[in-house]
Every structure is written in structure tokens, then in C-alpha cells.
Chain A
Amino acid sequence: DVKVTQSSRYLVKRTGEKVFLECVQDMDHENMFWYRQDPGLGLRLIYFSYDVKMKEKGDIPEGYSVSREKKERFSLILESASTNQTSMYLCASQEGRNNEQFFGPGTRLTVL
């Protein structure tokens, strides 16, 4: 079974703080994704990565950056957190480009 883990289930940060969200997958998948999920808006793609040190912008990359130094780990960084970044953040992993995505349990981030 694919296992995707995220470093925190719940996180509370203050405006202006730098925030790191970590995601690890154990199936040697090439592709990893970061989404945010908001009521009524569904899942929106922030960034994705097809390989180590590779990253591509999704639909809403503003205010975020990512890092993929190792194949199994994909980090999402909020350089200076803002209240409109309060959301549920979901990481997903995918083998190859034609297969289904598997999700982690999510991190619910609140920015005060």
C-alpha cells in the first residue's frame, strides 16, 4: 500500500512567520503534488514536482515555494504566512504520469 505522510495534522502560526509543511512518500514515486482545499473551491494545485530538484507551478503558486531535495520528500514553504493562507493542505504522490494520485492525511493550517 502507498503511504503518504505529512509532518503535522494541525498547525497554528502567526502572520509573517515562515512555515514548513513536509510530505514523505514511501513508494519511490516520481511525482509529488501540493494542493490546498477550501470550502466551495475544491482542491487547487499549488506546486508539483516530477523529479528531485524539479518543481513546476500549479494554479495558485503565489505566496508559496517548494523544495524537493530527495525523491521521497516534498516540502511546501510559506515564506511569510498570511491569514488568507489558512486552509487544509494536502500532499499527493503519483507513480509515472498516467496513474492515480494518493493523498496524505492533510495538514490543517491556521494563520492568526
Chain B
Amino acid sequence: GQQLNQSPQSMFIQEGEDVSMNCTSSSIFNTWLWYKQDPGEGPVLLIALYKAGELTSNGRLTAQFGITRKDSFLNISASIPSDVGIYFCAGRGTGNQFYFGTGTSLTVIP
């Protein structure tokens, strides 16, 4: 199955810093989702994007659906310790199956 390229693989940042991560695909997608997963838990949906160019916010989180429809970006502003976790992107083309990135592990240093 297809796998999305997600980068960076891991990030270590100071509390208060902004964070950016992205996902790219070789195929065009119609939907992009961003999830956060805490250790030992299932992924929790953060933001859903359905239209090329769309920019959506959820509190300090902002995600964008790339114009080419082959990429998406997630930004976290003013990071706090509870932002620690693994962030996953997921994309869906014309079929029903979602494909997932390998995750970005975020560590926030107080």
C-alpha cells in the first residue's frame, strides 16, 4: 500500500516555540487528516481538510491542504508540554482507503 512521506521524523523543541511538519504524497489526495497519538493510546483526530488550498485551525494548531493536492502541513504555535506525542497525517484519494504517514515524534522541553 502507499505510504506518505512525513517529515521531520522527530523534533525536540523548547516550550513556547512554533512547530512545523509536513506530509507529501506521489498521488493526488481529496482529503487530508491530521492525528495526534499519545503513548499507548489510539490516534485522536485534530484537523480534517477537504479542499485544495484550505487552511483550518483548531486552537493553536493550523493545517493546510496543499494547492498541488499532494501535500499538507501542520503548524503548532507556542508549544506547551502537553503537545508531546506523535503526529500523523493521513490522506485519501478517490477510493475509500486512507494512507498514513510514519509520524513525527514531538518532544517539548519545559
Residues of A within 8 A of B (CB): 4, 9, 31, 40-45, 48, 50, 58-60, 90, 97-98, 100-106, 108
Closest 10 CB pairs of A and B: A59-B1, A103-B42, A43-B100, A42-B102, A105-B42, A106-B42, A42-B100, A97-B96, A100-B48, A103-B43
Instruction: State whether the Cβ of B11 lies closer than 8 Å to any Cβ in chain A.
Output: no
B1 to chain A, nearest CB (A): 4
**How many residue pairs at the A-B interface have CB separations less than 8 Å?**
50
User: Could you list some 30 contacts between A and B, CB below 8 A?
Assistant: A4-B42, A9-B40, A40-B102, A42-B88, A42-B103, A43-B90, A43-B100, A44-B1, A45-B1, A48-B96, A48-B97, A58-B97, A59-B1, A60-B1, A90-B42, A97-B96, A98-B31, A100-B45, A100-B48, A101-B33, A102-B45, A103-B35, A103-B42, A103-B45, A104-B42, A105-B41, A105-B42, A106-B40, A106-B41, A106-B42
Q: Point out the residue from B31, B40, B44, B48 that lies within 8 Å of A103, measured CB to CB.
A: B44
How would residues 19 to 46 of chain B score, 1 for a CB under 8 Å from any chain A CB and 0 otherwise?
0000000000001010100001111110
